[in-house]
Amino acid sequence: MGLPESREGQQDRLPPGQRLQRGWPVTHYGPVPKFKPDRWEFRVFGATADGDKHCWNHEEFSAMPYSTVLADLHCVTKYSMLGAEWGGVASRTILELAPPAPDVTHVMVWAEYGFSSNLRIADFATEQTIFATHKGGEPLTAEHGFPVRLLVPHLYAWKGPKWVRGIEYMTADRRGFWEERGYHNIGDPWDEQRYSYQEVPGDGPEL
């Protein structure tokens, strides 16, 4: 009989050391922030092409072009969720609306309570990278990152902050929250880049 049709082909989409997760667990550090629509804004700052900061309030952000992607989520604690449909604003849309200066190499993604994660600009700019507001056509719930969370499907999921508030364009790399606390600076699940002690020179700034 083999695997049910829906699970066929899923095994080779699982990075090494990961197992399939049924359902959708909640994983994060710290409390779930309360969404305050009148105080919320999405901010692009740092080394922008025009030197200005770009801000959108929640209404403006919600009116941005809406994209969907089918994407996997790999948690470094070894579970993976495959093939969910995520909807929201593509990172490429943000890159077009608020372009980085030519010498930008990295992006820091900032979330509520100062949570952050750093990405190489090329990892940020993939077609699959999305500031998700919806999953499976439904708005995200508070614990999964409402109103906006990032998804970078080709990297471990801590690289996708929930409750995102903006991005900072950087001309040199800097470690984000988990990257300063023992997790790998790049975080490629296919290479099992889980912990910072696995880094080789060039993977990230000195710890």
Ligand X SMILES: Nc1nc2c(c(=O)[nH]1)N[C@H]1C(S)=C(S)[C@@H](COP(=O)(O)O)O[C@H]1N2
Position among 14, 32, 64, 75 found at the interface with Mo ion (CB under 5 A)? 75
Look at residue 194 and give the partner it binds from ligand X, Mo ion, none, a contact being a CB closer than 5 to 8 Å depending on partner kind. none
Name the token pair of 121: 């600009």
CB 143 within 8 A of CB 157: no
In this complex, which beta carbon is closest to ligand X, that of residue 47 or of residue 156? 156
Position among 42, 107, 130, 162 found at the interface with ligand X (CB under 6 A)? 162
Per-residue x/- marks for ligand X, 64-103, CB under 6 A?
A: -----------x----------------------------
How far apart are alpha carbons 195 and 178 in whole angstroms?
10
Which residues on neighbouring strands pair with residue 79, listed in sequence order? Answer: 19
Per-residue x/- marks for ligand X, 26-45, CB under 6 A?
A: xxxx----------------
Per-residue x/- marks for Mo ion, 21-40, CB under 5 A?
A: ------x-------------
Number of residues engaging Mo ion in binding (CB under 5 A): 4
Question: Where do contacts with Mo ion occur on this chain (CB under 5 A)?
Answer: 27, 75, 157-158
Question: Where do contacts with ligand X occur on this chain (CB under 6 A)?
Answer: 24-29, 75, 111, 115, 144-145, 157-158, 160-163
